[in-house]
Amino acid sequence: MSGQPLRDLPGPGTETTIRPCVPGDEEALALLGAATFLETFAGILDGGDILAHCRSQHAAAVYAGWLARDDADVWVAQTAVGAAPVGYAVLTPAALPVPDPQPDDLELKRIYLLHRFHGGGLGARLMQAAIDVARERGSRRLLLGVYAKNERALAFYARCGFARLGERRFRVGANEYEDAVLGLPLHA
């Protein structure tokens, strides 16, 4: 894990900080991951699929695995008062289908915020943390996959400079959904 805590900035009704995660944060990340996934996709994807996905893909063991890896970085955004987790991001080596995979590609595996914290710049701060570390590692491109019908997320990624490179099928529970695969060139 690399990086230092980022400075406090006002959020919607509260101050927030972002810090690199450490072993021991996996339980909080699992709860936050499940909460943000459910909050984002309830009423859009099948409820049973969402719950199955949260049980398997947002289990504490998944986050503990990332925290134990030298090639992964995880950040948590939390309230300055009480340190309640409200968002997070995960950066790993890329494992996405792109027409021209590069050995130094990195993937923004996850970036989520509780809805109450959307629109206050916290998502951009999490994104910048991932971009900074990707550049520090010498990556020339940051990739991510996003549900192809998640217009809010697609607009956010477009504002950050990401462009569509392709698509993939993404399993959530018993069903597969169409994801857009996006890339951001990282120039020094």
Buried b (16+ CB within 10 A) or exposed e, 118-146: eebebbebbbebbbebbeeeebebbbbbb
Q: pLDDT tens for residues 12-33?
A: 446 899 999 999 999 999 999 9
The reply to whether the predicted model has a pTM over 0.85 is yes
Q: pLDDT tens for residues 135-164?
A: 999 999 999 999 999 999 999 999 999 999
At the top level of CATH, the class of 6-140 is alpha beta
The closest alpha carbon to 177, from 48, 38, 49, 32, belongs to 49
Q: Where are the domains of the chain?
A: 6-140
